[in-house]
Amino acid sequence: MKTWTEKLADLRPHVVKPAPISIAGMRAGQLMLVPTARLVDDFIRDIPRGRSMNARALRAALAAAHGAEVCCPITTGFHVRTVAEAAWEALGNGTPISKVTPVWRVLDAASPTLARLSFDTAFIRDRRAFERLSR
């Protein structure tokens, strides 16, 4: 079984194609970005310290940056989890917090992804609070 870090390193490219169905605010036929985990990771790394965005804003920004109208909510959700788990693995392997992807900038208490994480989500809450206080 692949580690989360290996899943993050998948080299397959992102795809822009017509949305096959209407779901989560998307209409069938809209031009849809199907992102990769690396694309999501790179985007999150560019969110400035002390700033955050929810999943809807993340998808809208990713879509706009890649010439699409919408971004696949299902794939993006999977990849946000991959990014979070890979960040946690990196921390466990000794990577300094300043070098891991700041996934806490897109995960908040309302995020359904939190319930799926393999680690204590207090880490996410603590990092969000730390950045808010250190602005």
State pTM to two decimals: 0.93
The pLDDT tens digits along the chain (135 residues) read 999 999 999 999 999 999 999 988 899 999 999 999 999 999 999 999 989 999 999 999 999 999 999 999 999 999 999 999 999 999 999 999 999 999 999 998 888 899 999 999 999 999 999 988 776
Give dist(CA 70, CA 3) in Å, integer: 29
What distance lies between CA 15 and its chain's CA centroid? 17
Helix (H) or strand (E) holding 15: strand 15-18
| Buried/exposed code over 106-124 (b: 16+ C-beta within 10 A; e: otherwise) | bbbeebebeeebeeebebb
| C-alpha distances out from residue 118 to 11, 86, 122, Å | 24, 11, 12
